[in-house]
Amino acid sequence: MILGIHHATFISSDLARSRDFYEGLLGLKPDPKRPLMSFEGVWYDVAPNQQVHLMLLPDPDAGTERPVHGGRDRHVAFMVDDVQVLAAHLLSAGVAFTLSQSGRRALFCRDPDGNALEFVQAS
């Protein structure tokens, strides 16, 4: 039986740029326990036993046109305290986003490689 989601993985074409986004903008901290692998990458602890993994690898979907609204694309959803605070933070950083079309307190943006991310406000 499924107990939860352990990690979500995203491909990065430029690890420094991705780290600026995930660490600098979103405030995630790298997990130093990532083992040596055959490719560069970084792991981030998001919550207890939940991570985001970045892999510096060629993107097999390069050149594929993605929907403007991330909710119409593959995405992972993160819980946040306040969507409005995040929206203001994204605006100040020049990161485009769209609001949830379902009326929920949520927004969608894309990381520097076009991976769709959803942020849902916790009750």
Q: The whole model's pTM is what?
A: 0.93
- Express each pLDDT in 61-114 by its tens digit: 888 999 999 999 999 999 999 999 999 999 999 999 999 999 899 999 999 999
pLDDT by residue (tens digit) across 17-55? 999 999 999 999 999 999 999 999 999 999 999 999 999
Name all domains of the chain by residue range, CATH numbers in brackets: 7-56 (3.10.180.10), 70-121 (3.10.180.10)
DSSP assignment string, the chain: ------EEEEEES-HHHHHIIIIIIT---B-TTPPP-SS-EEEEEEETTEEEEEEE---TTTTPPPPSSGGGS-EEEEEES-HHHHHHHHHHTT--EEE-TTSSSEEEEE-TT--EEEEEE--
